[in-house]
Chains A and B, each alone.
Chain A
Amino acid sequence: MNRPKTIAEKILSQKSGVDAYAGQIVEAEVDYVMVNDVTGPIAFREFEKLGMEAERDRIVLIPDHYVPNKDIASAEQAKEMRDFARRHDIRNYFEVGRTGVCHQLMIDEGFAAPGRLIIGADSHTCTYGGLGAFSTGVGSTEAAAAFATGRLWFKVPESIKVELHGAFRPHVGGKDLIIRIITDIGVDGATYKAFEFCGPGVANVPVADRLTIANMAIEAGGKAGIFPCDHLTVEHIKDTVKGDYQPVSADDGAEYCQVLRYDLSQLEPMVAFPHLPENGRLVKDADVVIDQAWLGSCTNGRIEDMRIAAAVIKGRQVHPGVRFLVVPASPRVFRQMLEEGLMQVFMDAGAYISGPTCGACLGGHMGILAKGERCVSSTNRNFIGRMGHKESEVYLAGPAVVAASAVAGRIVRPEDL
């Protein structure tokens, strides 16, 4: 009889055809392999050296980091992706106008779905765990290998069980929970491991928040952060998902290397201080004057985040000492903002709104920080110089705190306004 399995063990067993448990190395078939404009060029060059046929239907090419082209070098790089797509007749290439932050696009375009095994040459590929997929970041060379073979090797990870109870209070969400978790276990607390979320509280966590939480699994060193698939998941993807999918749930009695428990109703708004995501503190204890507030990214650039921020800022004004940049993560989010009148709300408040791009999240363009400047950001990394000058500072928080801080000119909770 088979021993009970975690979700990670089950998906990797199914995709490899091997009865696999934590610690084993398996070669598994991937459903999709995604690269972006930064990691793509190395993958293309490596792939061409093989002289093999491309597994074209599994390949997804998404320019997002430096598009619309920031400068000549990034223009050349984006062109390399476009040329590769043409040369190998890859349908899943998204041109500017239809493209957005790669992980949000993977969801909007229906590639990410429960039970799938997806790799991406971008560390935040773990985001789709929010939908019940096993997805993880790989390097460019590994992506190139999967372009050719549709397969890759994986060490089946041990799983950390995260049991959720209760429900979030107003203005508290997935970002606050994941900053809490990373602060508790450290930025290497889950290295080589997968988080598996479970418990009665899961039903109270909206899918957008699950995606935020899964997105930042990597910030604790995690290989994946996986939620079970429930009716909320099905509802979230029903209009967009491509093809069939098979939800996978954990077996009773599966083995976990660690168990964490959180009561969502006890959480308060969190902010991670520079220069590590593990430096979480309560927003109410923070006393930080800011120069910029940035709302967007694969962590919190979804329509749900935009709605939360708009509700906070509606009828208020961005502080005169602050630039508030609002960057929807995908064209779909952008369109929904238009339809719901959120553009109007942000513009009335004095925010700057741009089209979808990674932009300043990685210090690319559209909002780089000068020496000594501070930014409260809905993104996932606050490393040294992440958004600009090495002496600038990034503070990570959820959409409600980012919007409230844009108004106050300091890092605050919405209830402090």
Chain B
Amino acid sequence: MDKIRGKVWRFGDHVDTDQIIPAERLVAENLGCMDRFIFEKVRPELAGAIGDGDIILAGKNFGCGSSREHAPRSLIQAGVSCIVAESFARIFFRNSLNVGLLLVECKVDAAEGDELEVDVSGGEVRNLSSHKTFQFPPYPEFIRDLVAKGGLMAKIKEEQR
């Protein structure tokens, strides 16, 4: 999972979790098929179009609003491999770490449909369509460790042993 390649879906600033998955879809019955409802109110065509391994590229404050963990979970279900954004809202950031959605905080210049390569350990995002590269700093050690262990639950299980 060190290098990820995927097609870009471009978003702006302040994409809130109500946009990612609307509140009326947050019932336990939907937990297995949340991918069907992603961006339902803002870009309904996306749920069917997004491909396995695709990358969401956004501006500031991605994932603001509600604490619903359904948001990163539904994006994973839809096949999203990684989100690259200028910044993330904090609860979304924590939730994503715990459910295994890769987040990269980096300002990247790319258009919708461009091909990106995210080099996680190298701290670099490459736009394979425009041949531009962008650097990002690594996570703090505690968080790298958490991700390496597979999220919070895996960490607790390990500590229990």
The interface of chain A, by Cβ under 8 A from chain B, is 25, 38-39, 41-42, 46, 49-50, 52, 65-66, 73-74, 76-77, 80, 121-123, 125, 137-142, 144-145, 148-149, 153, 187-188, 191-192, 221, 223, 276, 362-364, 381, 383-386, 390
Contacts and interface: CB of A to CB of B under 8 A. Distances in A.
B148 interface: no
Contact of B94 (A49, A65, A142, A149): A142
Interface of B: 14, 16, 18-19, 22-24, 26-31, 41-42, 60-61, 64-70, 73, 87, 89-91, 94-95, 98-99, 140, 142-143, 146, 151-153, 156-157, 160
25 contacts: A38-B23, A39-B67, A50-B160, A65-B23, A66-B27, A73-B29, A76-B27, A77-B27, A80-B28, A123-B65, A138-B94, A139-B69, A139-B94, A141-B152, A142-B152, A187-B61, A188-B87, A223-B90, A363-B22, A383-B19, A383-B65, A384-B18, A385-B18, A385-B42, A386-B23
Given A42-B69, A42-B70, A137-B67, A363 B23 contact: yes
B31 A145 contact: no
Nearest to B142: A25
B151 A141 contact: yes
Given A141-B151, A142-B152, A192 B41 contact: no
B91 A188 contact: no
Nearest to A358: B23
A39 B160 CA distance: 25
Given A141-B98, A144-B153, A39 B27 contact: no
A386 B67 contact: no
B28 A141 contact: no
B28 A383 contact: no
Contacts of A192: 90
The 9 residue pairs across chains A and B that have the minimum distance between CB atoms = A139-B95, A73-B27, A188-B61, A390-B41, A41-B28, A385-B41, A123-B67, A139-B69, A73-B29
Contacts of A50: 153, 156-157, 160
